[in-house]
Chain A
Amino acid sequence: MNSVDKQKEVAVATVDEITVDIPKEVIIEETSIAIFKTKDDTIFALENKCPHKGGPLSQGIVSGEHVFCPLHDWKISLNDGEAQGPDEGCTASYDTRIENNTVYLLLN
């Protein structure tokens, strides 16, 4: 990768603004992204779009490091956006970074 082509970082929220297991939806340049906070305060970010029928993952039930899509109950990993079990598909995932209580999203 070209060093000039550095990843962009963008601040999306403070850690406290996000409730555990209640994802937060942010829109960056027309892309909707779901930010998740798990019980141990780890922050994850996925595109807000189930690989199955595009359901908003920010509205799903979060269990540990998985979210269940509200439309047809697909189980998606918060780590890499992969659908679990025989369901196949993957939603984009984003790296995150926390500094001074602020959540930064790393964009390519």
Chain B
Amino acid sequence: MKKERLVLIGNGMAGMYTIEEILKQEPDRFEITVFGKEPHPNYNRILLSSVLQGDSELEDIVLNDYDWYEEHNITLHAGDEVTRIDTTNKQVESAGGIVCAYDHLIVATGSNPFMPPIPGSDKEGVISFRDIKDTETMIEASKKYEKAAVIGGGLLGLEAARGLLNLNMETEVIHIQDQLMERQLDPNASKMLKRELEGQGMRFHMEKQTEQIFGRKRVQGLHFKDGESLYADLIVIAVGIRPNIKLAENSGIETNRAIVVNDFLETSAPDVYAVGECAEHNGIAYGLVAPLYEQGKILAARLVSKEPAGAGYQGSLTSTKLKVSGVDVFSAGEFGEADDLKSVLVHDDFDGVYKKVNIRDNKVVGAVLFGDTSDSPKLLNLINKKEDISDVGKGLILPSESNAPVESPVADMADEETVCGCNGVCKGDIVSAINDKGLTSVNEIKQHTNASRSCGGCKPLVSDLLNATLGDEASGAEVEPLCGCTDLSHEQVTEEIKTKQLTHTREVMNVLGWKEPEGCSKCRPALNYYLSVSKPKEYEDDYSSRFINERVHANIQNDGTYSVVPRMYGGVTNSEQLRKIADVAEKYEVPLLKMTGGQRIDMLGVKKEDLPSIWGELDMPSGHAYGKSIRTVKTCVGEDFCRFGTQDSIGMGMTIERKYERLNTPHKVKMAVSACPRNCAESGIKDIGIVGLEGHWEMYVGGNGGVDLRGGDLLGKMKSDDELLDSISAFLQYYRESAHYLERTSHWIERVGLDHVKAVVLEDEEARANLIERMEVSLEHKGEDPWKELTYNEKKKQELFEQRKVELV
């Protein structure tokens, strides 16, 4: 069947949100084409002010990158503007000459900045603040010029002004009214905002009307109506936006202030819809993100269901938060003065806090907060719910003012209350995502639920919610389960494996009553590891439970290719090995050769199907650079050549590496041997780091140079090579037996304590001897070199590496 053709004019937040909502429900039904005037993929326009203020980079604010369009089979014409809609023949025409037919058309052309007709506003250096280009122009200008003027003391103007201050420009703000943000704030809050921003270095010119912008080619300044003037090298005009409706108007679609739509976002033309800032519903054209998203959801439902269904769009309650660092401002609903309104007021000029809640007929209808906006989610909910508040005290309306201990506003929110207004994510969604997926950071929550993905204003709430949710778990007696498939902890599972004599991953999941009968990518590799440590002689590896790197013995890269790192004991190589590596690299056109941090050569970008032949031709052992296993022993030059070297660090490093190579461990284990305290092999940040001194070795453990930088702890001084090797055996075996799978030595030591490890590994002679003995058994059964094994095993090669080309007849 032919797909329905869906065309979107306007590659912005409202239109693309609608497309995303449609794809969620009908990923394959529509053939989607998107036209966008700007030569960029869809980005988060709200965050332009944070780019300008230096908090984000441009690439951080892209919402859907070009790959996303490709992955979803969406044709994107970025930088090509639609110039005509032919509603009779149902097609659109672009400036670039593309003619595109539609079955459904969404107009989401957004707004244009309103440029008042001030003489001279066409001069170089006069811009608006609307898109990426404007933002770039401001950043560029700040490198050459010093003085900036912003015309407009509203939300956008003040965000632009704050950004210009951050770019080290002298910033003047010109406003035609006598108070800032008069559409969002009452006079008291506005006064406090002005004082705060003056403190930050902004200079204000209130009740000034700009008559002319002067300068030669480039702007030099502006004249006001009252005769005064101001010099400026850059003028940003931010006096408001106007819905961009020219295209719709010229195409005969009914417009008023914006494109007129009904409750289902339908315009006057059949199968043509409008959404976002360019749409006017019940006489209102919205300019904030939350209403756009609400409209997008309704429009998506409308397109998916074919017929209008449900109540449709009923208008939005708007709220505002100013995104200016160091200033907390919030307003929503009816915040002004009126005879039938009663207010709850907190006005503390000394601390710079102002709160006003307007109440009509026992219902909260609007609020303004300045200085402390922690009650804003609560208030927004009260306004939305239209709840009768006659029975509740002020403590509920403004929890921050009650004498109860200060507690995050998320604590007493109901599960269905909204935390992220931009994306409509409620408290319950976030809490269950934290619990079910084991999320531990705001960023993870953003990825999993979309909360805080847009304006970022709810980040503090999300963070509170994360702490509250995880905190409860920590204070309860419940143990942290191995993964979502079971309630049992790592320790309980390993204990059960031992006592019940379990021998296979499936058996463990079955006997211990896994909720997901086949497990997941977290528990399967863990079980496979625990079983192998518990029965080193008998256990047969379940390679279907291994992460791909350990299954194909190479490191998967972001493009699906692999990297190959041959073993070079102690980081020592020779001309023969180098020649082989060079030959193989040339023959298989390996795109990148690089030295690793562990003194090895990494061949990157190898195709999966080439892996076995490359191993065969290299004829070197696997470097295990991909495994949860002993990785490398890095060494310094040592006494052979170094004039400071006190020990044979290379020799000791090679001995250690040969002894423990191919041994599986809970996580990767990196080692180093240095021959003097100068520590050229960086032994201080390794899982096991050895430092040679005159007559003895120092052994450091639990060091980490990665995510959690941690200096190793001195485990002890070893008087002989044998004592050192025994101590490594005992330490490694204890780590293998008692650490959680995927727990590095650094975290393990923190958890069990250095003194405890010392006691078991060094002091308790019997325990030490047993550990060493069990290590010897494990070493005996650790298997052959995997590369050699796979290179000549035709069945395995076919199973794991074949890429079969099938011809269509």
Interface residues of A, Cβ cutoff 8 Å to B: 1, 8, 10-13, 17, 19-22, 24-29, 32, 39, 49, 51, 53-56, 59-64, 66, 68, 70-71, 73, 75, 85-90, 107
Contact B556 A71 (CB under 8 A): yes
Given A22-B544, A27-B805, A89-B72, 17 more pairs with CB closer than 8 A: A21-B544, A24-B799, A26-B805, A51-B71, A53-B558, A54-B560, A59-B560, A61-B524, A61-B545, A62-B544, A64-B516, A64-B518, A85-B433, A85-B436, A86-B448, A86-B449, A87-B448
Contact B804 A54 (CB under 8 A): no
CA A60 to CA B548, docked complex, whole Å:
6
20 contacts between A and B (CB under 8 A): A10-B806, A10-B808, A20-B544, A24-B804, A26-B806, A27-B803, A29-B808, A56-B560, A59-B560, A61-B525, A61-B545, A61-B546, A63-B516, A63-B521, A64-B516, A64-B518, A68-B520, A85-B433, A88-B24, A89-B27
Contact A61 B71 (CB under 8 A): no
CA A26 to CA B805, docked complex, whole Å:
6
Contact B544 A28 (CB under 8 A): no
Contact B558 A71 (CB under 8 A): yes
Tell me, yes or no, whether B625 is within 8 Å of chain A by CB. Answer: no
Q: Tell me which residues across on chain A come within 8 A of B548, comparing CB atoms.
A: 59-61, 70
Which partner residue on chain A sits nearest B519 by CB separation?
A: A63
Q: Tell me which residues across on chain B come within 8 A of A49, comparing CB atoms.
A: 71
CA A21 to CA B525, docked complex, whole Å:
14
CA A1 to CA B437, docked complex, whole Å:
42
Q: Tell me which residues across on chain B come within 8 A of A28, comparing CB atoms.
A: 806, 808
Known: A12-B806, A26-B805, A70-B556. A89 touches B520 (CB 8 A): no
CA A76 to CA B122, docked complex, whole Å:
54
Cβ 8 A contact of A89, one of B71, B525, B560, B802: B71
Interface centre among A17, A85, A86 (most CB of B within 10 A): A86
Q: Tell me which residues across on chain B come within 8 A of A29, comparing CB atoms.
A: 808
Known: A12-B806, A22-B800. A63 touches B524 (CB 8 A): yes
Q: Tell me which residues across on chain A come within 8 A of B520, comparing CB atoms.
A: 61, 63, 66, 68, 75
Which partner residue on chain B sits nearest A67 by CB separation?
A: B521
CA A75 to CA B549, docked complex, whole Å:
18
Tell me, yes or no, whether B1 is within 8 Å of chain A by CB. Answer: yes
Q: Tell me which residues across on chain A come within 8 A of B28, comparing CB atoms.
A: 90
Tell me, yes or no, whether B764 is within 8 Å of chain A by CB. Answer: no
Cβ 8 A contact of B804, one of A12, A68, A70, A86: A12
Known: A8-B808, A25-B802. A68 touches B560 (CB 8 A): no
Tell me, yes or no, whether B450 is within 8 Å of chain A by CB. Answer: yes
Tell me, yes or no, whether B547 is within 8 Å of chain A by CB. Answer: yes
CB distance from B462 to the nearest CB of A (A): 14
CA A73 to CA B549, docked complex, whole Å:
13
CA A27 to CA B609, docked complex, whole Å:
13
Contact A68 B800 (CB under 8 A): no
Q: Tell me which residues across on chain A come within 8 A of B416, comparing CB atoms.
A: none
Tell me, yes or no, whether B311 is within 8 Å of chain A by CB. Answer: no
For chain B residues 775-809, which have a beta carbon within 8 Å of chain A? 798-800, 802-806, 808-809
Q: Tell me which residues across on chain B come within 8 A of A1, comparing CB atoms.
A: 1
Which partner residue on chain A sits nearest B425 by CB separation?
A: A86
Q: Tell me which residues across on chain A come within 8 A of B556, comparing CB atoms.
A: 56, 59, 70-71
CB distance from A78 to the nearest CB of B (A): 11
Chain A proximity mask over B48-74: 1 for CB below 8 Å, otherwise 0: 000000000000000000010001100
Report, nearest first, the 6 A-B pairs whose CB atoms are least far apart. A64-B518, A68-B521, A21-B544, A59-B548, A63-B518, A56-B560
Cβ 8 A contact of A24, one of B448, B525, B551, B802: B802
Contact B24 A10 (CB under 8 A): no
Q: Tell me which residues across on chain B come within 8 A of A68, comparing CB atoms.
A: 520-521
Cβ 8 A contact of A85, one of B20, B448, B516: B448
Cβ 8 A contact of A19, one of B524, B549, B559, B799: B799
Chain A proximity mask over B497-528: 1 for CB below 8 Å, otherwise 0: 00000000000000000001111110011000
Tell me, yes or no, whether B699 is within 8 Å of chain A by CB. Answer: no
Tell me, yes or no, whether B564 is within 8 Å of chain A by CB. Answer: no
Interface centre among A12, A59, A87, A107 (most CB of B within 10 A): A59
CB distance from A46 to the nearest CB of B (A): 13
Tell me, yes or no, whether B238 is within 8 Å of chain A by CB. Answer: no
For chain B residues 550-609, which have a beta carbon within 8 Å of chain A? 551-552, 556, 558-560, 608
Contact A54 B71 (CB under 8 A): yes
Q: Tell me which residues across on chain A come within 8 A of B521, comparing CB atoms.
A: 60-61, 63, 68, 73, 75
Contact B27 A64 (CB under 8 A): no
Contact A64 B517 (CB under 8 A): yes
Q: Tell me which residues across on chain A come within 8 A of B516, comparing CB atoms.
A: 63-64
Q: Tell me which residues across on chain A come within 8 A of B67, comparing CB atoms.
A: 53-54
Q: Tell me which residues across on chain A come within 8 A of B524, comparing CB atoms.
A: 61, 63
Q: Tell me which residues across on chain B come within 8 A of A55, comparing CB atoms.
A: 560
Contact B806 A27 (CB under 8 A): yes
CB distance from A88 to the nearest CB of B (A): 6
Q: Tell me which residues across on chain B come within 8 A of A87, comparing CB atoms.
A: 448
CB distance from A53 to the nearest CB of B (A): 7
CB distance from A55 to the nearest CB of B (A): 7
Which partner residue on chain B sits nearest A81 by CB separation?
A: B27
CA A106 to CA B520, docked complex, whole Å:
29
CA A106 to CA B178, docked complex, whole Å:
71
Contact B552 A59 (CB under 8 A): yes
Q: Tell me which residues across on chain A come within 8 A of B71, comparing CB atoms.
A: 49, 51, 54, 89
CB distance from A13 to the nearest CB of B (A): 7
Which partner residue on chain A sits nearest B518 by CB separation?
A: A64
Chain A proximity mask over B531-548: 1 for CB below 8 Å, otherwise 0: 000000000000111111
CA A10 to CA B807, docked complex, whole Å:
8
Q: Tell me which residues across on chain A come within 8 A of B798, comparing CB atoms.
A: 17
CA A1 to CA B24, docked complex, whole Å:
25
Chain A proximity mask over B21-36: 1 for CB below 8 Å, otherwise 0: 0011001100000000
CB distance from A15 to the nearest CB of B (A): 14
Q: Tell me which residues across on chain A come within 8 A of B805, comparing CB atoms.
A: 26-27
Contact B544 A26 (CB under 8 A): no
CB distance from B381 to the nearest CB of A (A): 23
Known: A39-B518, A53-B558, A89-B71. A22 touches B799 (CB 8 A): yes
For chain B residues 426-478, which have a beta carbon within 8 Å of chain A? 433, 436-437, 448-450
CB distance from B532 to the nearest CB of A (A): 17
Q: Tell me which residues across on chain B come within 8 A of A56, comparing CB atoms.
A: 556, 560
CA A49 to CA B73, docked complex, whole Å:
13
Which partner residue on chain A sits nearest B1 by CB separation?
A: A1
Contact B448 A13 (CB under 8 A): no
CB distance from A47 to the nearest CB of B (A): 10
For chain B residues 390-417, which have a beta carbon within 8 Å of chain A? none
Q: Tell me which residues across on chain B come within 8 A of A73, comparing CB atoms.
A: 521
Contact A10 B809 (CB under 8 A): yes
Which partner residue on chain A sits nearest B523 by CB separation?
A: A63
CA A66 to CA B548, docked complex, whole Å:
15
Which partner residue on chain B sits nearest A9 by CB separation?
A: B809
CA A56 to CA B71, docked complex, whole Å:
14
Chain A proximity mask over B364-408: 1 for CB below 8 Å, otherwise 0: 000000000000000000000000000000000000000000000
CA A86 to CA B519, docked complex, whole Å:
19
CB distance from A67 to the nearest CB of B (A): 9
Which partner residue on chain B sits nearest A18 by CB separation?
A: B799
Q: Tell me which residues across on chain A come within 8 A of B803, comparing CB atoms.
A: 25-27, 32
Q: Tell me which residues across on chain A come within 8 A of B546, comparing CB atoms.
A: 61
CB distance from A28 to the nearest CB of B (A): 5
Contact B547 A86 (CB under 8 A): no
Contact A86 B808 (CB under 8 A): no
Q: Tell me which residues across on chain A come within 8 A of B551, comparing CB atoms.
A: 22, 59
Known: A28-B806, A71-B558. A90 touches B27 (CB 8 A): yes
Q: Tell me which residues across on chain B come within 8 A of A39, comparing CB atoms.
A: 518
Contact A85 B437 (CB under 8 A): yes
Chain A proximity mask over B1-38: 1 for CB below 8 Å, otherwise 0: 10000000000000000001001100110000000000
CA A20 to CA B800, docked complex, whole Å:
12
Contact B804 A26 (CB under 8 A): yes
Which partner residue on chain B sits nearest A70 by CB separation?
A: B548
